[in-house]
Amino acid sequence: MGRQKYGTVYFIGAGPGDPDLLTIKAAKVLSIAEVVIVDRLVSEEILKAYVNPNAVIIPVGKQGRSESSTPQYEINDLIVQFASAYNTVVRLKGGDVALYSNVLDELITVNENNIPYEIIPGITAASGASAATGVPLTARGLSTGVRVLTYYQNTAIADEAWKHLASFEDTLVFYMTGNALPQLVNKLLQHSADATIPFLIVEQATTPQQYVYEYTLGGFETAEKPASFISPSLVIMGKVTALYRQFKWQANNEERKHYFKPLQDNPELISLINHIQEKHVSRA
């Protein structure tokens, strides 16, 4: 029996939300894609405007604490399965492929199966939120660098690292941290952070539903805030965020609606996969 032949898998970053921020190269590949395996944080407008209308679209989103999230091993299996039946398979991710996208698991999968692939970067959420709020992430006299992080309630960070973060020599950008913000703020204050340090929480950056909250470390605990922040929310901490009021160029959307659909059960997915298996034979 001959060696299994596979199509090419394209790992593509779709950008932070605004469909016009998709790269030209990404749009070209999406226009010829036969299968698009897509994350939740990809604009529906991108799928409508740029994806080949004949493509099979497979939703495999993840969302914190949602039972509807697709396990990573299933996503890996889908990549292999569809690459065995189609020439052009896209794994479409929100933001940029390189940041908090679980791309390593998927790269290991394609490598182990000798599947050809290409990586096409996208504008990351941090860059998108920076532009959409008018806040530069580095600025002379305010920030010497940027730290891109995530924080959960049980994240293990050494005391020395906390002390460096709390010095706020750098701007701190936290992904997927909204629900752990009280613990994060307390940790920074416990390690001698200046209580007057400002920070922003940017809901759904670059989308029509963008909403920006302004806080300080010392005032966060007693400040008025929503019961929960709409996903995705990005936290930008540091002296540069004081520039927001001076340079913001768009108003908050007071509706606070979901731009990206919350995950739902997708019983059609299994039947679709089974149909694809029956319709397409693996190429030997």
Do the beta carbons of residue 111 and residue 79 sit within 8 Å? Answer: no
**From CA 133, how far away is CA 119, in angstroms rounded?**
28
By annotation, the residues acting in catalysis are 39, 62, 176
**From CA 162, how far away is CA 177, in angstroms rounded?**
16
**From CA 64, how far away is CA 146, in angstroms rounded?**
25
Sheet holding 56-59, edge to edge: 56-59, 35-38, 88-93, 8-13, 117-120
Surface-to-core class of residue 274, CB atoms within 10 Å of its CB (0-12 exposed, 13-18 middle, 19+ buried) = exposed
**What three-state secondary structure class fits 234?**
strand
